[in-house]
Structure 1
Amino acid sequence: MSARIYQRPKNAMQSGKALLDQWVLEFAPAEAKKPDPLMGWAGSGDTQQQVILRFPTCEDAKAYAERYGIEVEVHATPPRRLKIQAYADNFR
């Protein structure tokens, strides 16, 4: 069983920074999804894909994974690059 740990990214549609400090542990798919013969929806028998755990820090997520023997891959948060721009720059 493997999983990945990452920090929640900010959605392009949101301006606030609430819940961005949470770290998420998300399990990797154990089997491929296959189409349902009747409806055509994608599905699988893997229920671990539905589990998403949230932690306040990366260390807490790593400790949880170590406690239960889960192999994890930690994805570091990319640095935020702000493009400082004034309203007057639109009219140059």
Structure 2
Amino acid sequence: MPARIFQNPMNAMQSGRALTSKWILQFEPAEARKADPLTGWAGSGDTQRQVELEFSDMESAKAYADKHGIRYSVTETPHKTLKIQAYADNFH
């Protein structure tokens, strides 16, 4: 079953960088979700979708996947540069 290794993204609602240094190994869905006829909730029989492993760096996530024979793809987070600007700069 293929997996995806990615860095925890920055929360769009906050400017802090907490928990963004973690790398996550997440399995790709094996089957599509379908609506339950009784409740209408979406679900599937794929239990691997619930598994999410956290690692401190990308190399340890890759090593884990290689050790257990898991095919993976790595999605690297693009480096974000902030433009530091003061409020007073709006009035020049």
- Normalising by structure 2, we get a TM-score of 0.93
* Whole-angstrom distance in 1 between the partners of 2:31 and 2:17: 34
Alpha-carbon separation, structure 2, partners of 1:65 and 1:48 = 14
1:18 corresponding residue in structure 2: 18
Identity %: 64
Residues 60-90 of structure 1: CA deviation (Å, up to 9, x unaligned): 0000000111000001110112122111133
Tell me whether 79-88 or 19-28 shows the greater mean CA deviation: 79-88
- Give the distance between the partners of 2:50 and 2:91, measured in 1 at CA: 49
* 4+ runs deviating over 6 angstroms: none
Cα distance in structure 1, aligned partners of 2:44 and 2:90: 50
In structure 2, give the amino acid aligned to 1:57: D
3-state DSSP of counterpart to 1:26: strand
Matches within 5 A, 1:63-82: 63-82=63-82
- Structure-1 separation of matches of 2:68 and 2:75: 20
Aligned residues: 92
Secondary structure at the aligned position of 1:21 is classed as coil
In 1: Cα distance, 2:26 partner to 2:90 partner: 42
Distance in 2 (CA, whole Å) between partners of 1:52 and 1:12 is: 21
Task: Quote the Cα distance in structure 1 between the aligned partners of 2:60 and 2:77.
Answer: 16
CA distance in 1, matches of 2:44, 2:84: 46
What TM-score results when the alignment is normalised by the length of structure 1? 0.93
